[in-house]
Chain A
Amino acid sequence: MRRFLSAALLLAACSRKSPDEQLIKQFDSVKSWSATVQFAGEKWRANSVPAFFMRATIAAAEKDYDAAARSIDQSRARKELRDQFRRELDAARASAQRLKHELR
């Protein structure tokens, strides 16, 4: 049993990507969500989507940002990479905040 477990762990470790690659992949969703919020914002200003849709979209985006913040904290990726992603995440959060303010 123990031998089987260690073999499984070894296999999992080998198939794992490096911490950098892993974080880059996880951060993909933040890029996608910040693009979504921006696009939805344009459409809201042009009166193409209702305000409640904007709020729901921002809420979904912020949920993803929170998850991303946690994975950056837990990641063992290079410090520069983590710092860069933190800055990008802050920018994404800020633009979501601005839109939320406009929505009021």
Chain B
Amino acid sequence: MREQIDIIRDILDKQLVDRDHTAMGRVDGIVLSIDDGAPRIDHFELGFVVLACRLHPRVEQWLRAIRTRWSVRKSARQIVPWSAVQDITQREIRLDVHAIETSAFDWEKWLRKNIVSKIPGSGEE
């Protein structure tokens, strides 16, 4: 039987977790590709810029300008291919990746290394 999924209701904005159930962002955007006239989900997009463009093109422009100056993340839009999706449950979408190795954790890693680990009592050995 063909499985049917309502992509706006059940996928967009849903929590993403990795293999070990570490939260790694949300589905900020969904990109379809069209093969032989039939659309299919190609990948998810993550990132503040993706969210901003959902609000207003102007907001997106501002954020891009800020990003080029300040961001520690390499690309504005982080891409998660559909092939990485392992499971879709009521609660979350599980991906077959290690969160810490993806760019969803660029900011987290940068903050850990440059700020949090410098403050005593952070749990850093």
In the complex they form, do A and B come into direct contact, defined as C-beta atoms under 8 angstroms apart?
Answer: no
> Which A residues form the contact surface with B (CB < 8 A)?
none
> Which B residues form the contact surface with A (CB < 8 A)?
none
